[in-house]
Amino acid sequence: MTRYIFIFLLLFSFGIKAQNISGQAYYESKTTVDLDAFGGGNGEMSEEMKKAVGQMMKSALEKTYILTFNQYESIYKEQETLDAGPVNPGFKMMMSSYTPGAQYKNLKTNQIVEENEFFGKQFLVTDSIQTLDWQTTNESKQIGQYIAFKATAMKKVDPNDYSMARPKKKESSAAKAKDDEGKENAEVKKDSVQPQDPMDMIEIPKEIEVTAWFTPQIPVSNGPGEFAGLPGLILELNVYRTTLLCSKIVMNPKDAEKIEPPKKGKEVTRAEYVKIVKEKTDELRENFRNSGGNGRRGGGFGG
C-alpha cells in the first residue's frame, strides 16, 4: 500500500512542478554528545564540569535554521536569537569557526556558496553541490501534515569538520607502544610530563551514513544545508549525531527573504578553504605544544 502512495505522490508532484513553488521551512537542530566517551567516565571530568560543558554544547549546537526556497534556488540561514545563557567566548569562537554560515544553493547550476567566518576572517566558499547516491525506500511516516519517505546515502566527510569528531579507540595506542618499543618504554611514555594534544584524542570518520525523510508533496529537490537531490523537500535529516527536523513550513510566503548568493568575504574554492583551515588548525596545535599545554591560542589572520 505504501508503495502505491509513494507512486501517487510522485505523479501528483510531477503534475504541479510547473507551478511557481516557493516557501520557507524551519528546522530545529539537535546534536547528542557523549561526554563520557571523552574521558568523563574515568574520573577525568567531574559531573559539574560535564554539566557545564554539556550546557555550552547545547547552546552552541541546538539552533533553528530557515530554508527559503523556490523550485531551483535556496538560502539556508540560522535564525537570529538572543543568547540563552553565558558561553565561554573562546569556545563560542572555536565552534563558529568550524560551522558554515549562510548557504546558497542553485540546483540548475549545481553550485553552492557558503559564507564562513574562520577565526575572525570572512570567506566566501564556492563549490559544486555534492551528489549523493540516494537509496529511496517505501518506508514512510507522517511529519506534520506531510507524508515523508525514507532515503539513505553514504557521505564523504570533510577532514576539517570537527562537528563529526569522535574519541579514538584506546586499544591500539598502548598495544602499539608495547609492540614497537617494549613494555619499559611504554611505561616511560605514560609517565612523561609532555602535555597530550587534544587533537590526538579524536578522529574524524572518512564517511558517514545520512538518513533523509522527504515529501513528494513539496516537489523541490532541496533540503537543509548542503543536502539536495531527492524527489521532494527534505523534512528530516539525520547526519551522524545531528538531527534536523522541520517544525514549520510556510508555502508561498508574502514577505520571504530574497534568494541570492551571499557576498561577504574573500572568495575561495572549497579546496582552498580546506587548506586554510588545515594550516590554521596545525598552527593552533603547534602553539599548544610549545606552550606546554597551557592553552595559549594563536592570533588571527594577518592582512
| Predicted confidence (pLDDT) per residue in 37-92, tens digit | 555 445 466 677 666 666 666 666 688 999 999 999 999 999 876 655 555 555 55
On the question of pLDDT at 174 being above 90, the answer is: no
Residue 293, class by beta-carbon neighbours within 10 Å (0-12 exposed, 13-18 middle, 19+ buried)?
middle
Distances (CA, A) of 18 to 13, 70, 149, 220, 249: 10, 12, 22, 11, 20
Least confident segment among 22-36, 152-166, 215-229: 152-166
Stated pTM of the model: 0.75
On the question of pLDDT at 264 being above 50, the answer is: yes
Name every residue whose Cβ is closer than 8 Å to that of residue 6 and which is 6 or more positions away in sequence: 138, 140, 149, 216
On the question of pLDDT at 225 being above 50, the answer is: yes
On the question of pLDDT at 124 being above 60, the answer is: yes
Which of 3-17, 77-91, 117-131 has maximum average pLDDT?
117-131
pLDDT in tens, 141-170: 999 999 999 999 999 887 766 666 666 765
What confidence tier does 207 reach under pLDDT thresholds 50, 70, 90?
Answer: confident
Least confident segment among 19-33, 60-74, 92-106: 92-106
Q: What is the dihedral of CA 101, 106, 107, 113, to 10 degrees?
A: -40
On the question of pLDDT at 123 being above 90, the answer is: yes
Extract the C-alpha cell encoding 72.
531551483
pLDDT for residue 255: 82
Q: What is the dihedral of CA 211, 64, 96, 98, to 10 degrees?
A: 10
On the question of pLDDT at 291 being above 80, the answer is: no
pLDDT for residue 213: 98
> In which region does residue 120 sit, left (phi positive, over 0), alpha (psi from -120 to 50) or beta (all else)?
left
Query: Which residues partner with 241 through β-bridges?
Result: none
Least confident segment among 100-104, 131-135, 203-207, 209-213: 203-207
